[in-house]
Amino acid sequence: MTRRISINTPIGPVYVEEQDGAIIRAGWTAVEAPGDSPLLRAAAEELTAYFDGRLNRFSVPIRHGREDATGKVLDAMLAIPMGETRQYGDIAREVGLPAQAVGQACGANRIPILIPCHRVLSASGLGGFSAPGGVETKVWLLRHEGAAGLLI
């Protein structure tokens, strides 16, 4: 059974969805759906702590469900510590893909914030971002995390 829960955050409502004991999706809207489980409560608590500045690494189980090139990129993004960024090219070299494929995988990330695609930047700037507010939301998240060397 799939369950969802929404929380209010400084960047607007965010939802998380769980299935079979792992977070499988997150997004940028409030949802009205059945949403009570110990995992969803833990995810909501972790997101609240993240936005309050009390959490620097999520511990809830996450399953992106990808075994392909996109999955390699998502795994690489999961490894980026809070307060740090990587360029598309850095991840491309790490996983053996073109930088454009890394950008596409970032855009296909179904679990934003928890899989931190906002920490991936282009060589010449910020790159894109799927959240409402686009790049401004990306900047907010990076500043919130204290991203080192962020010149914005």
Q: Could you report the per-residue pLDDT of 13-72, keeping only the tens digit for each?
A: 999 999 999 999 999 987 776 678 999 999 999 999 999 999 999 999 999 988 888 999
pLDDT surpasses 60 at 151: no
The continuous run of DSSP H or E covering 105 comes out as: helix 99-107
Q: What is the pLDDT of residue 75?
A: 96
Q: Give residue 130's region: left, alpha or beta (phi > 0; psi -120 to 50).
A: alpha
Question: Which residues are known to be catalytic?
Answer: 117
Q: What is the pLDDT of residue 149?
A: 59
Average pLDDT score over residue span 112-127: 90
The model's pTM is: 0.91
pLDDT surpasses 70 at 152: no
